[in-house]
Amino acid sequence: MYPTKYHRPASLAEALQLLSENEDAKLLAGGQTLLPTMKQHLAAPEAVIDLSASGLCGISNGGTMVTIGAMTTHAEVASSADIAAVVPVLNGVAAGIGDPAVRHRGTIGGSISNNDPSADYPAALVGLDARIVTNARELSAEEFFDGMFATALEEGEIVTQIRVVGPKRAAYVKFPNPASRYAMVGVMVAETADGIRVAVTGAGEDGVFRHEGLEAALAADFSPAALDPVEISAEGLLSDMHATAEYRAHLVKVMAKRAVAAC
């Protein structure tokens, strides 16, 4: 790891101040991606700003909506009774990220701000039509995720909360890479107040995306068989040593059918 300066601000205001003073600083949430990246010399921030003491933890249940602090760990999301009461699908999504020790450190805010194209939360939050709250504004998950490892976050902006309204029904199913366990394809199917949403992670060259064909088919007939005639184009899908774009396209439909069956 190249030298860096560690900071642990005691408030969000102090964190924002440090961020504005250190142009090459990186925010450190759980560190489960940033630290390995720094160890491999793929990132060399002059400063890291640890948000663990900035008051961004905690989950609150507003009856039909849960609010999750950005520094809430995957383990906390996985085991939260408040989340189970409103949006239980999210317990399962978090329980499937990494391994138990990683889930004790990794956070929802860190994961979505990194926007790894194979991460589970992007599909979950786009599928559930979640809202992302920052120190400056609130935006939809769809507006927030902006391509591979890219988000709508501006310089000096910090995710503070994630808000999710409970869906009528929802399920998330992924096909994990046999070695890394990252999603080769993960599909969230949700029926929200605004209709059916199908969001896909792991497959797109530009990260998470919604699939209109799958959504339209499920709006007409919410059953796995309704997805059989839907054509999934391989265009714009990732192709690598693990799977071709065509194979990923195939997996999108299989995972979507399994998710519908699990709803």
Partner 1 sequence: MTQVTLTVNGKAVRRDVPDTMLLVEFLREELRLTGTHVGCDTSQCGACVVHLDGKAVKSCTTLAAQASGGTVTTIEGLANGSLHPMQKAFNDNHGLQCGFCTPGMIMSGVDMVARYKAAGKELTEHAIREELEGNICRCTGYHNIVKSIQQAAGEM
183 binds partner 1 (CB under 8 A): no
Applying CB under 8 A, does 6 fall inside the site for partner 1? yes
140 lines the binding site for partner 1 (CB under 8 A): no
| Residue 191 backbone phi and psi in degrees, to 5 | -105, 110
Dist. CA 149–CA 140, nearest whole Å? 17
Helix (H), strand (E) at residue 74:
helix 74-79
Q: For residues 5 and 168, which CB has a smaller minimum distance to partner 1 in the complex?
A: 5
**Tokens at residue 206, please?**
């530009």
Residue 181 interacts with partner 1 (CB under 8 A)?
Answer: yes
For the chain, strand residue ranges (E) read 5-7, 25-28, 47-50, 59-61, 65-69, 131-134, 138-140, 159-165, 169-176, 183-192, 195-201, 209-210
Reading the block at residue 210, the tokens are 């919604």
Residue 32, token pair as written in the block: 């489960």
- Backbone φ and ψ for 154, nearest 5 degrees, come out as -90, 170
Least distance CB 231 / partner 1 (angstroms): 35
Contact string (CB under 8 A) for partner 1, positions 9-48, x = contact: -------------------x--xx--xx-xx--------x
Q: What is the DSSP string of 78-147?
A: HH-HHHHHH-THHHHHHHTSS-HHHHHH-BHHHHHHHT-TT-HHHHHHHHTT-EEEESS-EEEHHHHB-S
Using rule CB under 8 A, residue 82 touches partner 1:
no
61 binds partner 1, rule: CB under 8 A: no
**Minimum CB distance to partner 1 smaller for 33 or for 151:** 33
Q: Which stretch in 1-9, 113-121, 141-149, 198-206 sits in contact with partner 1 by CB under 8 A?
A: 1-9
CB 110 within 8 A of CB 32: yes
Q: Is 80 in the site for partner 1 (CB under 8 A)?
A: no
Asked if residue 50 binds partner 1 (CB under 8 A), the reply is: yes
Q: Shortest approach of partner 1 to residue 125 CB, angstroms? A: 23
Stretch that binds partner 1, among 3-11, 138-146, 190-198, 207-215 (CB under 8 A): 3-11
Q: Which long-range contacts (CB under 8 A, 24 or more apart) does 85-88 make?
A: 85/61, 86/61, 86/164, 86/165, 86/166, 87/128, 87/164, 87/165, 87/166, 87/167, 87/170
101 sits near partner 1 (criterion: CB under 8 A): yes
The residue among 12 and 84 lying less far from partner 1, judged by its C-beta, is: 84
Q: Does 156 bind partner 1 (CB under 8 A)?
A: no
102 touches partner 1 by CB under 8 A: yes
Binding of residue 109 to partner 1 (CB under 8 A): no
Interface residue with partner 1 among 98, 122, 204, 207 (CB under 8 A) is: 98
Residues in touch with partner 1 (CB under 8 A): 1-6, 8, 28, 31-32, 35-36, 38-39, 48, 50, 52, 75, 79, 98-102, 104-105, 181
